[in-house]
Amino acid sequence: MLSDEPIDLARVRRYLTPLPLALLAVATVLSYLQPDEGAANARVTVGPLVAVTAGWTLAMYTLRPREWSARTGPMLTYVAVQQVLAAVLMTQHPIFFVFAVIGFVQAYDLLPPQWAFVSVGATSLMINLIPGGIPDTSKRIAIAAASVVLQTLLIGVFGNLSYRFNERSEERRRLIARLKSVIAENNGLHAQLLTQAREAGVQDERQRMAREIHDTLAQSLAGIVTQLQAADRARERPERRDWHLEQARTLAGEGLSAARRSVAALQPVELDEAHLPGAVQDLARRWSALHGVPVSVEATGDPVPLLTEIEVALFRVAQEALANVAKHAAAGRVGLTISYLDDTVMLDVRDDGVGFGALTVTGRDEPPPPEDGDGGGYSDGGDGGDGGYGLPGLRQRLERVLGTLTVESAPGAGTAVNASVPAIRRGAGE
């Protein structure tokens, strides 16, 4: 099976760098061990040639400046001189073809394709003609010519394919590096955007609380004071005094309900002592005991502590979805699933109730109201009781943490509510 990882060309070149000197050393040792006639005279010449070749290879290839690898001129000079030195060495002893074959390996590693093909051809000529001498018969000439042509074509074709593959592998490696950089940058921007959304949410919450206090609590308290003052003035008229006191009690009850709704919009107390799965499990247990409907809660993936705003938003989705099931769905079973994925956390609430007519509700579109005014629909707004925010409020809360809400339903097929939020761990944006 082929790996999806790009080839590390730098690692390959680390193994390739000492190869020319290693082959030169092997050929030199074999030439000195070869007991051919004239070997003693050859040693006198071979020694200095080997030294010059080793020095040239060391200076121009092994220890070459890094920028030379991308320049054709220095590398073409190195390959040409090395081939001349290899040819001279082979005239002294045929065994130096062991060193000459390095030309096949280095051609497509150091040179552009057109020059690499010429280098392969020159190397093939050397190792086929010099060790055995120039062919003197038509048969030997034909064999030598065929060997040179086939060798050059085969090595040239596969070398060119290897060159292109290496280019693409290097391009892929650079692309992966750029993608990693972009992903890291996007994660930073995501965290920054979430921080800005949190700050905007805090400001919105403060404004909402100020409006709540002004529109409900302050007015209720002012009305209570007014009614108590009127009752005090009507002390001589008991029936009028009782009427004012009753109005004060009514205003006090309304103010208490408004205060409870405002407090309920803050962080649930369930999340003070537990993370999201535990809080949802406790919510489901209490809801099931109250309404007599079985509820299953399942958490998949690796639960991690999320930002407080994200856990609050998902908890409110579960809370509102269960409230709507109790009011409208006439369900026999309810299932809640919290799914922790790599970069997303999803909460699904499903019931087998009566459902309603909108097949899919996403974004800001709202489901149509139920025809009978009671069953078959999810609440699209507050109900006047504690904790009733409806779908618009839930969507707004999810949007503050870059989340989305989707509702799917059909008459008689139950309802599924899905909330999806980014999996930002606690501390990432704090």
Integer CA distances (angstroms), 77 to 22, 38, 39, 73, 89, in order: 21, 33, 31, 6, 18
The tokens for 252 are 């006090």
Give the confidence band of 32 by pLDDT, cuts at 50, 70, 90: confident
- Percent of the chain predicted with pLDDT > 90: 10
Average pLDDT over residues 337-360: 83
Which spans in 332-381 are helix H? Answer: none
Average pLDDT over residues 143-156: 76
Which bin fits 305, alpha (ψ -120 to 50), beta or left (φ > 0)?
beta
Q: How buried is 235 (Cβ within 10 angstroms: 0-12 exposed, 13-18 middle, 19+ buried)?
A: exposed
Average pLDDT over residues 324-347: 90
Give the confidence band of 373 by pLDDT, cuts at 50, 70, 90: very low
- Model pLDDT, residue 375: 40
- Model pLDDT, residue 371: 39
Number of Cβ atoms within 10 Å of the Cβ of 315: 19
Residues in the chain, total: 430
Q: What is the end-to-end Cα distance of the chain in Å, rounded? A: 45
Q: What is the pLDDT of residues 305-322, one digit of tens each?
A: 888 788 888 988 898 888
Least confident of 17-31, 120-134, 282-296, 354-368: 354-368
- Model pLDDT, residue 370: 40
Element (H, E) at 81: helix 72-92
- Model pLDDT, residue 159: 67
- Model pLDDT, residue 381: 43
pLDDT higher than 80, residue 66: no
Domain ranges of the chain: 9-134, 196-264, 270-422
Question: In this structure, are residues 336 and 320 in contact, taking their beta carbons and an 8 Å threshold?
Answer: no
Q: What is the pLDDT of residues 165-210, one digit of tens each?
A: 766 777 777 888 888 888 777 777 777 777 776 676 667 667 766 6
How is the beta sheet containing 360-362 ordered, strand by strand? 295-300, 334-340, 344-351, 415-422, 404-409, 360-362
Average pLDDT, the chain: 76
Q: Is 201 helix (H, G, I), strand (E, B) or coil?
A: helix
pLDDT higher than 80, residue 417: yes
The tokens for 243 are 């009427």
- Model pLDDT, residue 319: 87
Integer CA distances (angstroms), 1 to 5, 20, 34, 328, 428, in order: 12, 32, 45, 56, 39
Task: Tell me how far apart the alpha carbons of residues 328 and 336 are, in angstroms, rounded to a whole number.
Answer: 17
Task: Tell me how far apart the alpha carbons of residues 51 and 39 are, in angstroms, rounded to a whole number.
Answer: 18
Q: What is the pLDDT of residues 230-284, one digit of tens each?
A: 888 888 888 888 888 888 888 888 777 767 666 655 556 566 556 888 889 988 9
Q: CATH number of the domain at 270-422, out of 3.40.50.720, 3.40.1190.10, 3.40.1440.60, 3.30.565.10?
A: 3.30.565.10
155 alpha-carbon distance from chain centroid: 41
- Model pLDDT, residue 337: 95
Least confident of 52-56, 64-68, 413-417: 64-68
422, amino acid identity: P
- Model pLDDT, residue 296: 93
